[in-house]
Structure 1
Amino acid sequence: MVSEQVTDALLALEDAQASKKAQGYNELLDKILASSSASDDLPANLIAYVQSILGDSVGIVTSRPLLASFVGKLASLPDADIKIQVGTNAIDALAPKVVSYEDQDSQIKLMLADSYEQNEDFTSSAKVLQQITLDSSQRHVSDDDKAKIWTRITRCYLEEDDPTNALSYLNRVKNVIYNVQDQTTKLQFQLSQARISDSQRNFLDASNSYLNLSLEPVIDEEERLQALSAAIICVVLAPAGPKRARQLARLYKDDRTPQVNEFAILEKIFLDRVLSPEEVKAFAEKLQPHQMAKTADGSTVLDKAVLEHNLLGVSRLYSNIHIDNLGPMLGVDSDRAEAYAAQMIEQGRLSGYIDQIDGLIHFSNDSGADGAKGGAANLGTRELRMWDANVQALCEEVERVATMIQTAHPDFYALHMGA
């Protein structure tokens, strides 16, 4: 309930001369904060105050700086619930005349978003941020500011495990990210992109994004190693095949990988060694809930990834194997082992063919994806795979240097390219 002293003071200020209103309102706000900080009257007094300065008796020229000062002092309060209660009422009071107070309206909504996040209510924070006017004829909003808001909304939805809404706002950031200058916003965008790919089980894309993030020099060493660890986890969960093998090679040759706990499983997978149930169980304890979700056949993403990897490992050890013997080696029944092998052969991720009459699976490390013709789908021996990865890395470095030269010396680049 509004205190009687505040009510009387507000009535007096509304009837005061225009020249005295600004100083009077500022002094009253300081008194409200000093006298009501430990009482239950503070929210009601502050709501009455903001409604008064937005009233018809106070002109826009006077009320704008008063409202800006009010927002700054409100944001400094430690109690998030009070800030939410007062800020929500202020937004409602501003709604009919928001066109005249867009800057102050945005400041209040940003303060509200901070308060909701302080209470770990990320969905409410995202909804408040969505209400901020970013396309307006009254004020210019830069691409940096737009990207900052949209990235923050994306991160809020990711905190609530809502990748669908997060992706819609990440796509908005993609339209302006090349004009963004703020390094922090760029890094948050990269991290959000990695987390969305991870949550949607696009593990190869997520691994690549995490790896690129781990190479950013402006990030602390500990955070870079965390990103590298996340990149390894995602590549382990990715479907077996040539694309995954290339990403494994990039990670394995990284000088930093021996520093992370996941290096042991990365090495075994890269060297096509069969994983034991104990190793898989220890690795599973590090996974997030969405990474342990069930697939259509009832197995987890990790179970499927390990089974496919072990199947590739078996193909390196044997030229052929009976289906009844393959199942126990993979820890599944023979029908499921045959189904996985058939699927991988059909998709070009395993080279060979199945002889159902004799019950044998024949592996071919010298043939391509169709089991008869040579092709790039089969990576061959470990030495060839490492050579392929090194060549790819060299090409990427050359391209990166060429891009840097083009950016720094466009005339030199155009002259020599023309030649």
Structure 2
Amino acid sequence: MASPRVTEALQSARGNPTTGYKDLLANIQTLSAGPENLASDLESVLDDILNANLGVVTTRAVVLDFIASLRSLENPDLVIRVGGHAVRAISDAPALSSSLIDQTSSLRDMIATSHEHNEDFLSAARTLSEIPVDTSQRRLADDEKAAIWVRIVRYYLEVDDSTSAETYLNKLKNIMHSVADAELNLHFKLSAARIQDSNRQFLQAARSYHDISFFPVIDEDERLHTLSMAIKCAILAPAGPMRSRALARLYKDERSVGLEEHGILEKMFLDRVIDQSEVEKFARGLAPHQLAKTSDGSTVLARAVGEHNLLSAGRLYHNIGFDELGVLLGVSAEKAEDTTAKMIEQGRLKASMDQIDRIIYFEAGEASGEKGSGHAEVVVGKEMRRWDANVQAATEDVERVADLLQAEFPDFVAAHLTVA
């Protein structure tokens, strides 16, 4: 129910709708009975406009005045309530809804911005997703679509819904080649990096973050923050040749020296063992999803550091027992054995295992990273292979003596030859 003065102004506006509604909206705060009645007064004005049978052209113009007035009030809660009412009212008017698509899209954009102001990012994403971008009545250019979808991706990422964010990122991938706006391209690349990070694709995320850290369109502090994210992701990535290359690229970046993560980055790059106190300090700067537990109950960070320390052990020892390796890695002997076996199988560690004597023998050289390439042909160490070579040489000598006897004393050999 509208305030008395607003009701009176509405009666006057109907006589001259082109300017009457505009003047009413310009003075709505004065005419309303107070802030507590402003929302219901605006809703009454919108309902009156839609029911006045003004014709499509006039209705569009008046609704635009209504939107401009609502925006000028700069009240997020008011925009959410009144804007939501306006969208529903227009949608419930079949004769007008198809003619006011641009107006309802503007209202949804305002509502989403207001939800963002209130940090209700999920509602903001859902509101923006209702904006039509490619229908028979409304077709947007690629840069306009990108502006909407980038915002949706960012909103979903704020609530850690990487699945929904990736859905809209995939849409963006089909159009970003034709979008020239530098800021939109930056947000697209940054969103892609954040999704890779959320999905634990840490090597790809590290590369993406590092590339973004060179973008001149962002300020120095943001570039350093992005570089820091690249280092974190590289450290969390599975140990192996690919991570080693990522660490080398980041370590050689002169800007990394001034970052808090440089200490652990340096130790990983130089294949030094990382102790638990350094791990705990590094963990304090990680996001919740980077500390999530894996299927075996360990965290992503614990797994990454454990695999790194296993590679470091290979630089320090020729061989090591399962129990001793477990102590070094801070895990059980069984867990140390399992981690080693997986890294060998995946080609991330050159070593062999003697499961009878419970010893790991490290091989010289760098792993290739190709699945299966870390396996030794014989599951023994250097000493055992030397023993095998000696046994083979002895059997060859015996065979050679047997051949000589056969040639020199065939009767003797025939008399003493037994068949097994």
8 Å CA contact 2:352–2:376 kept in 1: the answer is no
TM-superposed deviation, 1:21: 1.6
8 Å CA contact 2:241–2:348 kept in 1: the answer is yes
Amino acid at match of 2:35: S
8 Å CA contact 1:123–1:157 kept in 2: the answer is yes
Q: Secondary structure at the match of 1:274?
A: coil
- Residue matched to 2:407: none
TM-superposed deviation, 1:61: 1.4
- Residue matched to 2:261: 262
2:335 is aligned with 1:336: yes
- Residue matched to 1:69: 65
The separation in 1 between residues aligned to 2:182 and 2:136, in whole angstroms, is 28
- Residue matched to 2:308: 309
- Residue matched to 2:10: 10
Equivalent positions of 1:231-310 (< 5 A) are 231-310=230-309
Amino acid at match of 2:7: T
Amino acid at match of 1:106: S
- Residue matched to 1:52: 48
Q: Secondary structure at the match of 2:57?
A: helix
8 Å CA contact 2:310–2:329 kept in 1: the answer is yes
TM-superposed deviation, 1:35: 3.7
Q: Secondary structure at the match of 2:360?
A: strand
Amino acid at match of 2:13: L
- Residue matched to 2:175: 176
TM-superposed deviation, 1:243: 1.1
TM-superposed deviation, 1:246: 1.0
Amino acid at match of 2:40: A
8 Å CA contact 1:326–1:337 kept in 2: the answer is yes
Q: Secondary structure at the match of 1:100?
A: coil
2:374 is aligned with 1:370: yes
Q: 1:358 to 1:109 in 2, by over 3 A?
A: same
8 Å CA contact 1:364–1:371 kept in 2: the answer is no
- Residue matched to 2:120: 121
- Residue matched to 1:90: 86
Q: 1:167 to 1:367 in 2, by over 3 A?
A: closer
TM-superposed deviation, 1:56: 4.1
Aligned residues: 369
Amino acid at match of 1:13: A
TM-superposed deviation, 1:134: 0.5
The separation in 2 between residues aligned to 1:69 and 1:194, in whole angstroms, is 41
TM-superposed deviation, 1:11: 3.0
TM-superposed deviation, 1:208: 1.0
TM-superposed deviation, 1:350: 0.4
- Residue matched to 1:167: 166
- Residue matched to 2:143: 144
- Residue matched to 1:417: none
TM-superposed deviation, 1:372: 4.4
TM-superposed deviation, 1:6: 1.4
The separation in 2 between residues aligned to 1:76 and 1:27, in whole angstroms, is 14
Structure 1: tracts of 5 or more residues without a match: 374-419
1:78-111 superposed Cα distances (whole Å, 9 cap, x missing partner): 3211111100111011113222112211111100
TM-superposed deviation, 1:34: 3.0
Q: 1:275 to 1:137 in 2, by over 3 A?
A: same
TM-superposed deviation, 1:162: 0.7
Structure 2: tracts of 5 or more residues without a match: 368-372, 378-420
Amino acid at match of 2:20: G
- Residue matched to 1:36: 32
TM-superposed deviation, 1:8: 2.8
8 Å CA contact 2:228–2:261 kept in 1: the answer is yes
8 Å CA contact 2:90–2:97 kept in 1: the answer is yes
TM-superposed deviation, 1:73: 2.1
Amino acid at match of 1:301: V
Q: Secondary structure at the match of 2:98?
A: helix
1:182-219 superposed Cα distances (whole Å, 9 cap, x missing partner): 11111111111111111111111111111111011111
2:353 is aligned with 1:354: yes
The separation in 1 between residues aligned to 2:285 and 2:34, in whole angstroms, is 45
The separation in 2 between residues aligned to 1:244 and 1:75, in whole angstroms, is 50
The separation in 1 between residues aligned to 2:10 and 2:122, in whole angstroms, is 36
Scaled by the length of structure 1, the TM-score of the pair is 0.85
TM-superposed deviation, 1:38: 4.4
Equivalent positions of 1:218-229 (< 5 A) are 218-229=217-228
TM-superposed deviation, 1:64: 1.3
Structure 1, 58-67 or 302-311: larger mean CA deviation: 58-67
Q: 1:102 to 1:318 in 2, by over 3 A?
A: same
8 Å CA contact 2:128–2:148 kept in 1: the answer is yes
TM-superposed deviation, 1:336: 0.9
Q: 1:270 to 1:65 in 2, by over 3 A?
A: same
1:139-198 superposed Cα distances (whole Å, 9 cap, x missing partner): 441100101111111111111111111110110001101011111111111111111111
- Residue matched to 1:25: 21
The separation in 2 between residues aligned to 1:260 and 1:148, in whole angstroms, is 33
Q: Secondary structure at the match of 1:256?
A: helix
The separation in 2 between residues aligned to 1:314 and 1:41, in whole angstroms, is 72
Scaled by the length of structure 2, the TM-score of the pair is 0.85
The separation in 1 between residues aligned to 2:121 and 2:56, in whole angstroms, is 33
Structure 1, 32-41 or 161-170: larger mean CA deviation: 32-41
Q: 1:37 to 1:256 in 2, by over 3 A?
A: farther
- Residue matched to 1:378: none
The separation in 1 between residues aligned to 2:342 and 2:2, in whole angstroms, is 71
